[in-house]
Structure 1
């Protein structure tokens, strides 16, 4: 798939896009010719010249807007509309005359080839052309047809390259956008770390600390007891509490960093998490190689948060975790059959989104009211 369109339809869409580019290039040539004539007529009148410039820029923006739609629809090229304005758009319309002319030439040769093929076919049917000569003509025609198809594809590639170069953001704008993204992601990571520290502090204070206080009181009672049986009972209860405290401490440590990832792969660790889940979980991990440690860690935390939400809030009966790789990305999908309504702006999911963004990844949550809920994570693994 390319976006939401099947790959098999892409060559046909490119051919249609190149054909439409001939028409838009013709419109652009007409616009530039009228502009040149109008400029010569009113060049000596400053007020009229200023109005003409404003009109030229307005209509050039309109034509370029249609070019953006054509490129997006037939060439899968999305170009931001706010980076280009004014005479740069007029320059793009002038440069677009080259791929338009080349496309016209390619399709013209294709039409000539179709006419010649029909002539050869008619001559073969009438018997004016021998079988050997007909086969030679077919081979030559097929070779020329393939060359012509490649020419159309090359014109489409040239059209896309010119559009990205002239309509897309400049190198400086890209660097500025990247700096802004890094500043935002750095602030997000700091906020996520602070939120995680607060969460750990609450877990220690409300859970483990209270249990240790109760354990100390229990041991004090056992120490003061004169009844041997009562003392043994209190010590047995203290032993159980110590074991539970160790379990809680291990859970808190895993929230800080899942040390099991150092020895086992992500799939195995998530299988262990699934065994302790209150909701049935199916894990399918199909990775050709282990990704980087930070990638595994982020995927682990996202999966754990999604499982927790499914168990506590979604009333789910089944959660499916699927992990795969392709096109330089690791993709994880967590799907549950619960009631939905998950808030991507909530504390847990927003913190995970910042974690994912810090690695140049993307987290998307689809959770309509009534369910189901799907969490998709994509992280670069190159």
Structure 2
């Protein structure tokens, strides 16, 4: 099984060595057209990425690698390097072809005793002794030429990595951004914990105290109609406590989000909303824009926070929730027809913004006085 794999890999490398020469005209056109249009250069970059992905044996989906390459810092310089490597490979191929023609002519001349046109040698001048004398150096040169082709292909792949490597200032900016995002996420988590504590203290705890008072009164009451009324009220309080606990647990993390996905969680959010709400789900499957659970969780909490703000502060009469799966972006958008004036720097929205940023997403809040309020978050596909 190892021999076929090695042969298949060698064939891929040979095709790659031919393809980088065949791309020379495309690279020339891309560089010449760059001042007028960037479309040819994008096509050339995509062709180079496809070639290397295929030569490396990586899985390809719709003609593109499943793991998209990082963006280039200097695409023009990269195309110039690829052009130079393509010309180098073309020169090596020309030398190999010339060597093969020369060697074949010598063998034919020695076997037939005829003239060798490559050397302009007369008949009988090239013998088997000549072949044995020049054959080993020719094989060494062929080996070196093949190594040169392999080196050109290797340099072509390494150039992609080198030109994709971020600069030092970019890395510093990313570190600062990640540090700021981490601080914001920690602050948002602490704020959410305080909100949950207030919900439990002001809601569940107060109801438990009321329930204990009702049960105490029922114990002191003589069995009869009054006691039955108190027990009925106690049962109602127990049901209210259970509802409050479900609400708190839902805000912590809805179980169906991990079990059934973002679409089902948004449907449940719509059904739990007391305002009339319209939900628009993208008919395309999740595979159209694959995302992990953390991204879907962040998208859900964007919608949940926007709906919660509309219920509490906007005096809205109607809500609209829209989930869109684009080619490379997942978007969740909530619109209410309330009075507007939402503060994007408030504890709720700022905490959600930090959660979105942690998933490499962006969030926009548009809420002029008088409404409407639009909250939209976008996340890159995996």
TM-score bracket, normalised by the shorter chain, equals: 0.5 to 0.7
Q: Distance in 2 between matches of 1:219 and 1:324?
A: 51
Pick one of 219, 222, 243 that aligns with 2:218.
222
Report the secondary structure of 1:379's partner residue.
Answer: strand
Structure 1 pair 19–356 and aligned structure 2 pair: CA distance change class (3 A): closer
CA shift, 1:18, in A, is: 3.1
Q: Distance in 2 between matches of 1:279 and 1:342?
A: 18
Q: Is the Cα–Cα contact under 8 Å of residues 330 and 378 in structure 2 kept in the other structure?
A: yes
Question: Superposition pairs for residues 175-186 of structure 1, below 5 Å?
Answer: 175-186=171-182
Q: Distance in 2 between matches of 1:175 and 1:358?
A: 17
Q: Distance in 1 between matches of 2:222 and 2:238?
A: 23
Report the secondary structure of 1:322's partner residue.
Answer: strand
What is the match of residue 336 of structure 1? 336
Question: Superposition pairs for residues 263-342 of structure 1, below 5 Å?
Answer: 263-286=259-282, 287-289=284-286, 291-342=291-342
RMSD: 3.5
1:246-285 deviations in Å (ceiling 9; x for gaps): 0001111111111121222322222222222222111112
CA shift, 1:17, in A, is: 8.8
Report the secondary structure of 2:280's partner residue.
Answer: strand
Structure 1 pair 176–341 and aligned structure 2 pair: CA distance change class (3 A): same
What is the match of residue 247 of structure 2? 251
**Runs of 5+ in structure 2 lacking a partner?**
1-31, 39-73, 81-162
CA shift, 1:293, in A, is: 1.3
Q: Distance in 2 between matches of 1:262 and 1:16?
A: 49
Q: Which has more radius of gyration? A: 2
**Runs of 5+ in structure 1 lacking a partner?**
1-14, 22-91, 99-164
CA shift, 1:245, in A, is: 0.2
Report the secondary structure of 2:295's partner residue.
Answer: helix
What is the match of residue 71 of structure 1? none
Structure 1 pair 17–203 and aligned structure 2 pair: CA distance change class (3 A): same
Q: Is the Cα–Cα contact under 8 Å of residues 188 and 347 in structure 2 kept in the other structure?
A: no
**2:368 aligned with 1:368:** yes
Bigger CA drift: 278-287 or 190-199?
A: 278-287
Q: Distance in 1 between matches of 2:243 and 2:271?
A: 15
Q: Distance in 2 between matches of 1:20 and 1:352?
A: 39
Q: Distance in 1 between matches of 2:306 and 2:352?
A: 10
Report the secondary structure of 1:263's partner residue.
Answer: helix
1:42-100 deviations in Å (ceiling 9; x for gaps): xxxxxxxxxxxxxxxxxxxxxxxxxxxxxxxxxxxxxxxxxxxxxxxxxx9xx9xx9xx
Pick one of 248, 253, 260 that aligns with 2:256.
260
TM-score under structure 2 length normalisation: 0.56
Q: Is the Cα–Cα contact under 8 Å of residues 267 and 283 in structure 1 kept in the other structure?
A: no
Structure 1 pair 19–189 and aligned structure 2 pair: CA distance change class (3 A): closer
What is the match of residue 66 of structure 1? none
Structure 1 pair 304–170 and aligned structure 2 pair: CA distance change class (3 A): closer
Give the count of matched residue pairs: 236
**2:347 aligned with 1:347:** yes
Q: Is the Cα–Cα contact under 8 Å of residues 301 and 352 in structure 2 kept in the other structure?
A: yes
CA shift, 1:291, in A, is: 3.0
Q: Distance in 2 between matches of 1:300 and 1:380?
A: 15
Q: Is the Cα–Cα contact under 8 Å of residues 367 and 374 in structure 2 kept in the other structure?
A: yes
Pick one of 231, 236, 242 that aligns with 1:240.
236
Report the secondary structure of 1:249's partner residue.
Answer: helix
1:130-163 deviations in Å (ceiling 9; x for gaps): xxxxxxxxxxxxxxxxxxxxxxxxxxxxxxxxxx
Structure 1 pair 243–19 and aligned structure 2 pair: CA distance change class (3 A): closer
Q: Distance in 1 between matches of 2:361 and 2:304?
A: 18
CA shift, 1:20, in A, is: 11
Bigger CA drift: 342-351 or 168-177?
A: 168-177
CA shift, 1:185, in A, is: 0.8
Q: Distance in 2 between matches of 1:211 and 1:265?
A: 33
Q: Distance in 2 between matches of 1:338 and 1:169?
A: 47
TM-score under structure 1 length normalisation: 0.56
> After TM superposition, where is structure 1 displaced by more than 4 Å over at least 4 residues in a row?
none
1:308-347 deviations in Å (ceiling 9; x for gaps): 2222222222211111112322111111222211110011
